[in-house]
Chains A and B, each alone.
Chain A
Amino acid sequence: MASFGKEFTTEMERIERFYPNKQAMLLPALHAAQAERGWISDSTMQDIADYLSIPKTRVKEVATFYHMFHLKPVGKYNLQFCNNIACWLRGSEELIHHAEKKCGIQMGETTPDGNFTISEVECLGSCGTAPVCQINDDYHENFDVQALDKVLGEMK
C-alpha cells in the first residue's frame, strides 16, 4: 500500500467537516488521487478504500461509473475534443482528424512517447465558443486547425 502525498491529505482534511460520512468523500478523494497519480489504478482504488475505511468494491463501482477517472494512464497532454452537436456544427470533426494525423494516433489512443492522448468527450459547456478542446484542465475555445497546430508545437 502506497500512501498519498501531502496535497491529498490536506485536501481531505479540509473537506472532512462538510461531509457526514467517509463514503461521501469518495469523489473528492478520487479527484485528488488522480491529480497526484495521473490515473486511477487498481492499487490506487485500494489505497482510497483504505484511506476512507470503506470497502474497495464501493470505490471500484464508483470510479468506473464516472468517465473523468482514467482507468489507464493517459498522455502528458490529454486532448479532449468535444464532438457533441454544437461543436460538431462548428467543425470539431475536422479538428479531431487533424489531431489524429498530427499525432499519428487514433481517437482513444496515446502516443508511444506518452506525450499525447486524444479522446472524445461529451458537451463541455462551451457551445457558444465552439469548437472546444480541453487539454488537461484548460479549455481552448473557438479552436481551429491553426490554433491546434500552435498548441501542439508548444507542447512538444
Chain B
Amino acid sequence: MPNIVVDGVQVEFKPGEKIIDVAARAKNVIPRYCYHEGLSIVAQCRMCLVEIEGQKKLVTACSTPCTDGMKVNTTTDRVKKSVAGVQEFLLANHPLDCPICDQAGECSLQENSYKHGNEDTRFDFFRRTYIDVDMGPSIKKNMNRCIHCTRCIRYCDEVGQIHEMIAEQRGNNTAIVTIDDKPLQTAYAGGLADVCPVGSLTTKDFRFKKRVWYLKTAASICDGCSQGCNITVSHDAGLIYRLEPRENQEVNKWWMCDEGRYGFHHVHSPSRVMSPTDLRTSEMKSLNWSEASNAARELLKSARSIGLLVAADATLEEVVALKKSFPQAEFFSFSIGVDKSEDDKATDHLLRRKDKSPNLRGLEEAGFKPFSSFDPKNFDLCVFVSAGKVRLPYGIAKLAKKSIGMGLFFKEELTGLNLVLPACSTYEKAGTFVNQQGKKQCFAAAVQPVGMSRPLENILSALSDGARKVG
C-alpha cells in the first residue's frame, strides 16, 4: 500500500483519499469547517491548510489527494500562522454570545479557538449583522453566527436533494438563506444542525433545554422505521434531550430523518401509564407489582387459548422471553405502514421506509404471523405488547374477550384493556432489532425506565408460574 508521512507518522492510504481523512486515521485531526465526509468538497474555509514538503504554497488537506511518499506537516510555523489567521478572520464577525448559544460546548469555532487561536482579538469594528427569517418547525437560524462554510447549502442539495438554501449576494455581504424565506421542505432538516459547525443552525426542539456538557450519551437504534438508523441518545438525570445520527456507512451513513430525530417525546409523555393498572372494574386502579402479577395470573389462569399481538418495536430478546413464557400461544406481529416486511419499501431517496417499525423482520423470523390474520375473538385472552413507538390499532382491545397490555401505553388508549403492565420504551432498554436489510443491530439502554415501568423480561419471569399452567 502507498503511504504518506504526516508529522513524522507514516500512514497508508487508498488511491484518491484526501490528506484530511488519512491524517485522521493517525489520530491527527486537522481542523476544518467546510469539510464534511458526507458532503462534496469546496475547500473554502481555508482552515485545513497544511504544508507539503517540496511545495511552495500551503494546500488544503480536504481537497488534496495523497500521493505516495508525500510528506505533510501540520505543525510548522507557517501552518500555525495560517490556521490562527483563518480563525481570527472567522471570529472577526462572529458574535461572542457563547453564554446563550446552544452550540457552546460542541462548537468547532470554540474548540479551534482554544487549540489554534490567538489569545485576544485585534478586530475592533462593528460586527456584521443580519435579520433572520423563520426556517420552519425544525431549525432555528442565527445568521450572525454563520461562518459561511456552506455545509448547509450542500447538505440541502446533496442529502435532502432539494435546492432550498442558497448564498445570496457576495463577498462580505453574503447571506445564507432559504429561497424566498420559505420554511425548509426537506424531511431531513434537523441534519442541518448536525452539519453546521457553529451555532448558526440549531434545532428548535433542543434549543435552550440543556447545556451540552451535562449530557451523557448512549449508542442506540432509532425505532421509527425499518431502516434502523444508528443514533446517539443524549440524556441527563433520566431525561432524554435529543437524538442524533451515529455514523454507520452500511445503514444510515451520517444521517437520520426528522421523524426519527424528534420521535422520542412519547417516552416522557405525561399521559404515559407509569404504574401497573387494573381496569377490570369501572374504576381505574393503580397496583403495586405484586398485586399486578397476581391480577395477571388470574386472567391467564382462566384462559384456554391465548393470542399475542406484538408491535414490531419489541426486541429479539423480548421475543424470546415472550415465546418462552407463552409456549402454547399464537403470535402475531403488528407494524404501521405494512402488514408483512415483503411489502416494505423506501419512501424517499435516502432513509425513510414504508414499514414504520424497527423489528418486523425480527418478529417474522421468530415465526410471528401477520396482523391481517389476527382475530382477537379467536382467543380467550389477548396480550397486547408495545414499546410505545409502534402504537397498536386504537380500540382493538375492545374486540378481545379479555386482554392484558404489556409495554408502553397511554392513558387515552386503554379502552378494552383489563390490565396494563408498564414496560420500557426503546431508549429505556437494551436489545436487538433486525432492520430492513436483515442486519441485526444491538443497542444499549440510555435511561432508566420511567415510573414503575420495568423491562418486559422481568415482568414475564414474575408471571412465569401462572403462564406455564395455561392451556
A58 to B167, CA, bound (A): 10
With most chain B CB atoms within 10 A of its CB, the pick from A42, A58, A61, A65 is: A61
Q: Are B166 and A61 in contact (CB under 8 A)?
A: yes
Chain B residues closer than 8 Å to A64, beta-carbon distance = 168-170
Chain B residues closer than 8 Å to A42, beta-carbon distance = 180
A-contacting residues, B33-69, CB 8 Å:
none
Residue of B nearest to A71 (CB): B169
Q: Are A56 and B169 in contact (CB under 8 A)?
A: no
A64 to B168, CA, bound (A): 6
Interface residues of A (CB under 8 A from B): 42, 55-58, 60-61, 64-65
Q: Are A57 and B169 in contact (CB under 8 A)?
A: no
A-contacting residues, B136-188, CB 8 Å:
163-164, 166-170, 179-180
A39 to B164, CA, bound (A): 24
A54 to chain B, nearest CB (A): 10
Interface of A is mostly: helix
Q: Are B170 and A57 in contact (CB under 8 A)?
A: no
Q: Are A61 and B167 in contact (CB under 8 A)?
A: yes
A65 to B173, CA, bound (A): 10
B130 to chain A, nearest CB (A): 14
Chain A residues closer than 8 Å to B163, beta-carbon distance = 55, 57-58
A-B contact pairs, 18 of them (CB 8 A): A55-B163, A56-B179, A56-B180, A57-B163, A57-B164, A57-B166, A57-B179, A60-B166, A60-B168, A60-B179, A61-B166, A61-B167, A61-B168, A64-B168, A64-B169, A64-B170, A65-B169, A65-B170
With most chain A CB atoms within 10 A of its CB, the pick from B163, B166, B167, B170 is: B166
Chain B residues closer than 8 Å to A58, beta-carbon distance = 163
A150 to B84, CA, bound (A): 55
B105 to chain A, nearest CB (A): 33
Interface of B is mostly: mixed
Chain A residues closer than 8 Å to B170, beta-carbon distance = 64-65
Residue of A nearest to B156 (CB): A57
B298 to chain A, nearest CB (A): 65
A103 to chain B, nearest CB (A): 26
A58 to B168, CA, bound (A): 10
A56 to B170, CA, bound (A): 18
Chain A residues closer than 8 Å to B168, beta-carbon distance = 60-61, 64
A55 to B168, CA, bound (A): 15
A93 to B166, CA, bound (A): 36
A12 to chain B, nearest CB (A): 23
Residue of A nearest to B163 (CB): A57
A64 to B292, CA, bound (A): 68
With most chain A CB atoms within 10 A of its CB, the pick from B169, B170, B179 is: B179
Chain B residues closer than 8 Å to A57, beta-carbon distance = 163-164, 166, 179
A144 to chain B, nearest CB (A): 32
- Top 7 closest A-B pairs, CB basis? A61-B166, A57-B179, A64-B168, A57-B163, A65-B170, A64-B169, A57-B166
A48 to B179, CA, bound (A): 15
With most chain B CB atoms within 10 A of its CB, the pick from A57, A64, A65 is: A57
B342 to chain A, nearest CB (A): 37
Chain A residues closer than 8 Å to B164, beta-carbon distance = 57
A143 to chain B, nearest CB (A): 28
A57 to B177, CA, bound (A): 10
Chain A residues closer than 8 Å to B167, beta-carbon distance = 61
12 further A-B pairs in the complex, CB-CB below 8 A; given A42-B180, A55-B179: A56-B179, A56-B180, A57-B164, A58-B163, A60-B166, A60-B168, A61-B166, A61-B167, A61-B168, A64-B168, A64-B170, A65-B170
A42 to B179, CA, bound (A): 11
B215 to chain A, nearest CB (A): 36
Chain B residues closer than 8 Å to A61, beta-carbon distance = 166-168
Chain A residues closer than 8 Å to B180, beta-carbon distance = 42, 56
A58 to chain B, nearest CB (A): 7
A68 to chain B, nearest CB (A): 13
Chain A residues closer than 8 Å to B169, beta-carbon distance = 64-65
A140 to B170, CA, bound (A): 28
A102 to chain B, nearest CB (A): 29
A60 to B166, CA, bound (A): 8
